[in-house]
Amino acid sequence: MRVCLILEGCYPYIRGGVSAWAHDYILSNPQIEFVLWTIYAARKYTGNALYQLPGNVACCREIYLEDAVKPNGGKLTKESLESCIDSLRMFLERGEVNWQSLFQTCTGSASAKELVESEAFYGFVKELSDTDGIGLADAYYGLKSLFTPLLFLLGQEIPGADIYHSAVAGYGGVLGALAKYKTGKPFVLTEHGIYPREREEELIQADWVAPSMREIWIRSFYQLSKCAYSYADRVTALFSDASAKQTEIGCDKEKCSVVSNGIHIENFESIPVREESDGINIGAFVRFAPIKDVKTLIYAFYHLRKRVPNAELYLMGGTDDETYRDECLELLERLNLSNIRVEGYVDTALYMSKMDFTVMTSISEGQPLAILESLAASRPCVSTKVGNCPELLGKSADGFGEAGICCTPMDISGIAAAMEKLCNNRELRLELGRNGRERVRMNYTYEKMNSGYLKIYKDVL
């Protein structure tokens, strides 16, 4: 069996939760031949692979969105151009998008650059500007930025496979839908987070999109998800609430199922609990990215340090956003927090042995592997109430008690108080850690996750 795994901006050049998921998934299924079909914003995000590709990866097909502005020598007919513009007009409306028309018109026929620089596209932009009262320049550059990568993706050559499996419902989901349309082969969609909700949260803080265009961008992200949902044979989520949101956005409930994340628990459950000592070590296995809200963690630790002077915080992870990382480091210096260690990428199991508990202050998450690994190692976690974190850390139907403390996102004082509570109560840490380890043993093993996906493959084939 040959599976085309569709990814966005991650494996094998960039670390993170989805990259780790993809690498372990490929390694654990040597009987499957994988083709990697990965979208990157630009070539600067690639280079030396951070993961050694397993032997069952047959080939890698990489798409760079920066190439969308390059001509490809194609030529759209007047009729095709008008048909494409009509489809884009529908794209911006709240009604259904004629994806079949877009797939037929744009696939391999011409460059995205030709279309967005055409008179017809300018007329389409002016129509939006006049109707919605958006400045012409904002409308033109906003729609050009919105549609150029999408139209570029629709012209991609489809790699051969028996199943197309996308790990995201955005641009990757559109590629999966395109592959389904062109080849008729099964398309499976796995969402590690709810794509349009995550993009919406990012756009609220973004300064690269004009305020007048923000609603249009948000609406377009929902349309991308609806495209993926409509063409997918099966759609999985990591937990039941996420699955419910998929149906709320527009996915057929009959297609939906839950396949939770799983970890190799044997790598963590044998790590001994840290002996009682004069200091408290807190671990944050987190990347420098605005959505991870490292700044709130730094401020919370600043307040904690006043009440627990023997506490140390370890920041362990890579960098998604260099500017954001620099801002965090400047904040550390300004607050004179020499007891925060910035470690970069680390051996998770090795560093987990040094921690008393972990912390995560993200403003959006799915079902974080970092929390599952922490719980497997009997380390409780302080986390924000996002994604599946409340279910992982609170009392739930599995019969196990609390495994950590959940706080409101961006609540500096609340997060500091939760960390203080765990710092000052070793018995509580041990109790929560035991609950967490048993929860992972019961519900979040790698074997359980892997068998879930393999069953779906069997069903759709």
Res. 133 pLDDT band, cuts 50 70 90:
confident
How confident is the model at residue 95, as a pLDDT? 61
Q: Are residues 176 and 138 in the same domain?
A: no
> Cα–Cα distance between 60 and 7 in angstroms, integer?
11
Q: Are residues 34 and 91 in the same domain?
A: no
User: CATH code at 243?
Assistant: 3.40.50.2000
Q: Are residues 338 and 204 in the same domain?
A: no
Res. 97 pLDDT band, cuts 50 70 90:
confident
Show Cβ contacts of residue 57 under 8 Å, excluding neighbours closer than 6 positions.
Answer: 26, 34, 35, 36
Q: Are residues 143 and 179 in the same domain?
A: no
Residue 288 lies in a domain: yes
What mean pLDDT comes out for the span 193-214? 83
| Cis bond before residue 30 (omega within 30° of 0) | no
Q: Are residues 28 and 115 in the same domain?
A: no
CB atoms within 10 A of CB 208: 6
Q: Are residues 176 and 320 in the same domain?
A: no
CB atoms within 10 A of CB 459: 12
How confident is the model at residue 413, as a pLDDT? 97
Q: Are residues 314 and 423 in the same domain?
A: yes
Residue 436 lies in a domain: yes
Give the pairing type, strands 280-285 and 404-407: unpaired
Q: Are residues 143 and 161 in the same domain?
A: no
Which conformational region is residue 262 in: left (phi greater than 0), alpha (psi within -120 to 50 degrees), or beta? beta
Which secondary-structure segment (H or E) carries 62? strand 57-64
Q: Are residues 333 and 311 in the same domain?
A: yes
Res. 88 pLDDT band, cuts 50 70 90:
confident
Q: Are residues 348 and 416 in the same domain?
A: yes
CA separation, residue 184 to residues 105, 181, 294 (Å): 18, 6, 44
Residue 404 lies in a domain: yes
Predicted confidence (pLDDT) per residue in 214-243, tens digit: 888 888 899 999 999 999 999 999 999 999
CB atoms within 10 A of CB 223: 21
> Cα–Cα distance between 246 and 191 in angstroms, integer?
9
Residue 395 lies in a domain: yes
Residue 457 lies in a domain: no
Show Cβ contacts of residue 435 under 8 Å, excluding neighbours closer than 6 positions.
Answer: 400, 401, 402, 403
> Cα–Cα distance between 284 and 211 in angstroms, integer?
33
Please give the tally of structural domains in the chain.
Answer: 3
Final residue before a domain boundary, out of 232, 258, 284: 258
What mean pLDDT comes out for the span 7-24? 92
Q: Are residues 419 and 271 in the same domain?
A: yes
Query: Tokens 């109430």 — which residue?
Result: 385
Show Cβ contacts of residue 360 under 8 Å, excluding neighbours closer than 6 positions.
Answer: 284, 285, 286, 292, 368, 370, 371, 381, 382, 383, 384, 389
| Residue 327 near residue 290, CB atoms below 8 Å | no
How confident is the model at residue 107, as a pLDDT? 62
Residue 324 lies in a domain: yes
Least confident of 3-17, 94-108, 263-277: 94-108
Residue 453 lies in a domain: no
| pLDDT mean across residues, the chain | 91
Domain that holds residue 293: 266-443
Nearest CA to 319 out of 343, 359, 287 is that of 287
Q: What is the pTM of this model?
A: 0.91
Final residue before a domain boundary, out of 258, 276, 303: 258
> Cα–Cα distance between 8 and 37 in angstroms, integer?
9
Q: Where are the alpha helices (DSSP H) in 136-184?
A: 136-153, 171-183
Residue 322 lies in a domain: yes
Q: Are residues 250 and 196 in the same domain?
A: yes
Please determine, for residue 25, whether its predicted confidence score (pLDDT) is greater than 80.
yes
Task: Give the pair of three-digit tokens for residue 291.
Answer: 């959505």
Final residue before a domain boundary, out of 258, 288, 322: 258
